[in-house]
Amino acid sequence: MIVFYLSGDRVFSTDQNAINGLYNKRHFGKLVEGKLFLSLLEATYLVERGKIEVRDGKRKLTVEELMNLGRERDELFDAKYLVYKDLRDRGYTVKSGLKFGSHFRVYRRGMDEHSQWLVWVLPENSRLSPNDITARVRVAHGVRKNMIMAIVDEDADVTYYKVEWVRF
């Protein structure tokens, strides 16, 4: 079992198996100075699947404890996790979309090419202004990506909507 250690709002490992198996082959996390850092979303996903364990000091954290840590830092953590898990389970590579003003950037398989989609996660009961949608679509269009809205309903089902410019 690969061990990661909690460090603020992420986890890290220096284990070469983590770097080779999770980063090089499956594109999880970010490699910084010989350490593999995972977001709480990535860590929760991998703990839930039995691929890693996360420790806070010597104490092993459960999936629920990781979820609670995520909720403390992000009110949309549950919705983002459901979308993250759904996309990973479908075989996509999912990375942060923060620099593009969205929650995720998504790659078809691996990371040999540029990401194809920017995904913005919203609970079903969210209120949106036309300006919110326009701004995100404009950014996606400007970086040659498709804007996807991932709507999470009360039953934890995810529905994806592609939002794009249309020229008449």
Respond yes or no: is residue 145 known to be catalytic.
yes
Is the pLDDT at 41 greater than 80, yes or no?
Answer: yes
Catalytic residue, chosen from 25, 114, 141, 162, is 114
Coil, helix or strand at residue 147: strand
pLDDT tens-digit series, residues 45-78: 999 999 999 999 999 999 999 999 999 999 999 9
Residue 114 annotated as catalytic: yes
Worst-scoring range by mean pLDDT, 16-20, 82-86, 87-91, 159-163? 16-20
Q: Break the chain into its structural domains and give their ranges.
A: 2-71, 75-163
Q: Kindly report the CATH class assigned to 75-163.
A: alpha beta
If you average pLDDT over residues 123-138, what whole number do you get?
Answer: 89
- The CATH number corresponding to 2-71 among 3.40.50.11390, 3.40.50.10190, 3.40.1170.20, 3.50.50.60 equals 3.40.1170.20
| Residue of 45, 81, 92, 107 marked catalytic | 107
d(CA 72, CA 101): 21
Environment class of 96 (CB within 10 Å of its CB; exposed 0-12, middle 13-18, buried 19+): middle
pTM: 0.93
More confident residue, 141 or 106: 106
CA angle 162, 167, 168 (to 5 degrees): 125
pLDDT confidence band for 110 (50 / 70 / 90)? low
What tens digit of pLDDT does each residue of 131-158 get?
888 888 888 888 989 999 999 999 999 9
Q: Has 30 been annotated as catalytic?
A: no
Q: 36 pLDDT exceeds 80? A: yes
Amino acid identity for residue 66 in this structure = L
